[in-house]
Every structure is written in structure tokens, then in C-alpha cells.
Structure 1
Amino acid sequence: MIESTKKIVVTGGPGTGKTTLIDTLKDKEFHCLPEISRQVTLEAREQGIEQLFLTDPLLFSKKLLEGRVNQFIESLNLTKNLVFFDRGIPDVVAYLDYIGDDYPALFEEACKEHLYDQVFLLPPWEDIYISDNERYENFDQAKRIHEHLERTYSRFGYHLTEVPTGTPESRTEFIINNLL
């Protein structure tokens, strides 16, 4: 039996190729837990709220926090050697810091209580950046979010491994070759 599943976060600002990278890892039969912000956004739209993050950032962030904590807890029961997360709990704090909103202490407590084993950070990459209905930030905003992600993960004691730009396959190979 596996002693503990290694928890690996793939993070970065919007439009950096995280989801494509997670999909490539899935294709290689790695266990991956999806990004949940699009799901939260779509559920809010079904309730008539076009952009929940813009309308009520704290409520949106609470829903994300709850979902990411649930993913973390789910990972504790896995019998896999490792699991990849498309974003981690500290992403929620980074985004709230980015917009300058105050938030309850439970957000930081969740970051301290649910620790990942390794974090890979994807840098801003203008060549692949695309805005869409769920990604409303422009590229300059995406760069600022990246800076907040770097600061937030570092503040919680993580060493970040930056993933170079390249094909999804080369980025996946980089991650696999740099697992601790």
C-alpha cells in the first residue's frame, strides 16, 4: 500500500496553458484533479449571475476554497503515487490579493493546513494567451496575477519550479523529469 499520495500543483496566471498541460498529463495516465473556477462560473450563470467573481468576489472565492479543500481531502484517499491539481488552495488567496479584497482568516488557515508536496508555475506566455467568456483578464492583468501567485505560494513556504514555454509534451516531460 502507498504510504501517502504526493500532491503536485500546476499553477500560473490565466492563459498559460495549465489545463492543456493537465490534459496531457491525463493522457499519460496520471491522476489529475481539474480546475473548478469555470464550473463555479457556469453554475453562477445558470442562476443569472454573469460574472460571479466580478459581482461578489468573496462568495466566488469561498466556493473555490471549498472546492479546492474538497479536492485536497479527496487526494488523501487515493491509492496513486501522485496526483496533479489544476491550481491549488493558495491560488484563491493570490487572486483576492490581486483584486485587493479583504478576506477572512480561514482562507490563509486553509493554505497552512492543506500542504502540497510540489508546485509548478507556468509563466505568462503572450503567444498562447486567449480571452474567452470565463477568462476576462487581458494579458497585462494575467502578468500581475502571475506575480501574486509567485508571492502567495512563496509566502506559504513553497519553492516554485517554473515550467518553460514549449509544446504541451515538452512541458509535461519537464514536469515529470523534475518531480521531487
Structure 2
Amino acid sequence: MSRFVVVSGCSGGGKSTLIEALAKRGFSTIEEPGRRIVREELAGDGLALPWVDLAAFARRAVAMAIADRAAAEAMPGPIFFDRGLIDAAIALEHATGEAVAAPMADAHRYHRKVFLAPPWPEIWVKDEERRHDLTSAEAEYDRLARAYPAFGYETLVLPKVDVEARVAFVLAALG
């Protein structure tokens, strides 16, 4: 859908900060599935955490991303997704070797332009919900940077600038 805009890329690269800035400007946004799942799992039995069972985590992320898309259909204007279904499907493929991303990418389209937050070591930090290291985050970025163009998307790498300049970059790229 042309209204569904994905911000993907490196963990810790400033995606969520950009999404929050877009929300403050009045745009509809969807929070990253992974962060929501980690919070839920840490409050519960903690079995579907990426550092415990990546496949279970990725399966939940796929289901949540599909539900997010369905809910977003009722939202007005462009909707900015902090990661999307393709991110979850690529994580599931990485964890299991199952070839799931291509069929999901065909069935659930987003805006043709996808914004990628590149690795940015100067701002990258671990936290309670992000326990992996920068090397793992960079490997994930590489998988996503290959996957999106393979599924017919134009990727635009976000500049390493302050959040307001990133917002301006995204809005200008979308016209």
C-alpha cells in the first residue's frame, strides 16, 4: 500500500526516534513489533525473546506485523511503521531457514520507498530490550538491505543527521 511507509534498518540506528518525531508532527505511526514483544515477554514467561528463542520471537513478530497492517488500514493518511512484516519474515528465515519472506512480501506490500537506518555506532546502545551487540545489529542490517530491493522496494538510506533533518529527508523523499 502506498500509505504504509516502512522505516527499517539497523537496530539502534535511530528508527524509533524518527518514528516518534513523525508522530509528534501528527502522522499515524506503528511501534516496532519487536520492542512490544520483548516488553510482553519480560513481563510474562519470557520464552519468546530473541536471545532465548529467536524463532518463537520472529513468529510472534510476523503475526504482530500482520495484525498491525490490518489495524493500519483504518488509519488516515500515511502510516509510518517502525519495522514491518518483511523485517519479521527475514528474522524468521534467519532463525529457521524457512523460505517465508518472499510470499509474505508479495502478499503484503508497503510503499515502494523504504527508509533504512544505517549502522550508527556513535548512537548505538544496549538496553533492557536490546541485548545483542553492534556486530549482530550490523548483520541484521545487511540482511534487510539485501532483502528489500530483492522484493522490489527502493531503499533510501537515512542520513546520519539530527532527527529533524531525518524527518525532513523522509517527507521530501515521499513528496
Give the TM-score of the pair, scaled to structure 1.
0.88
Letter in 1 for 2:152: G
Aligned partner (choices 58, 62, 66) of residue 65 of structure 1: 62
Distance in 2, Cα, partners of 1:133 & 1:51: 15
Distance in 2, Cα, partners of 1:20 & 1:96: 25
Alignment of 1:22-171 (within 5 A): 22-49=19-46, 52-78=49-75, 80-97=76-93, 99-103=94-98, 105=100, 107-117=101-111, 118-171=113-166
Map of 1:6 onto structure 2: 3
Distance in 2, Cα, partners of 1:104 & 1:59: 16
Does structure 2 conserve the Cα–Cα contact (< 8 Å) formed by 1:45 and 1:51?
no
Is the alpha carbon distance of 1:101 and 1:31 closer, same or farther for their aligned partners in structure 2, counting shifts above 3 Å? same
User: Superposition RMSD on alpha carbons, in Å?
Assistant: 1.9
Distance in 2, Cα, partners of 1:44 & 1:28: 31
Distance in 1, Cα, partners of 2:95 & 2:45: 25
**1:55-94: per-residue Cα shift (whole Å, max 9, x none)?**
222221111111111111122222x221100001110133
Does structure 2 conserve the Cα–Cα contact (< 8 Å) formed by 1:22 and 1:86?
yes
Structure 1 runs (4+) deviating above 6 angstroms are none
**1:98-120: per-residue Cα shift (whole Å, max 9, x none)?**
x4532364x54222211001311
Distance in 1, Cα, partners of 2:88 & 2:73: 20
CA apart distance, 1:9: 0.4
Aligned length: 174
Which runs of 5 or more structure 1 residues have no equivalent in the other structure?
Answer: none
Letter in 2 for 1:53: P
Give the TM-score of the pair, scaled to structure 2.
0.90
State the SS of the aligned residue for 1:11. Answer: strand
Percent identity, aligned pairs only?
28
Distance in 2, Cα, partners of 1:101 & 1:50: 17
Which runs of 5 or more structure 2 residues have no equivalent in the other structure?
Answer: none
Does structure 2 conserve the Cα–Cα contact (< 8 Å) formed by 1:93 and 1:152?
no
Does structure 1 conserve the Cα–Cα contact (< 8 Å) formed by 2:55 and 2:95?
no
Does structure 2 conserve the Cα–Cα contact (< 8 Å) formed by 1:22 and 1:84?
yes
Does structure 1 conserve the Cα–Cα contact (< 8 Å) formed by 2:2 and 2:110?
no
CA apart distance, 1:46: 2.4
Distance in 1, Cα, partners of 2:156 & 2:79: 17
State the SS of the aligned residue for 1:8. Answer: strand
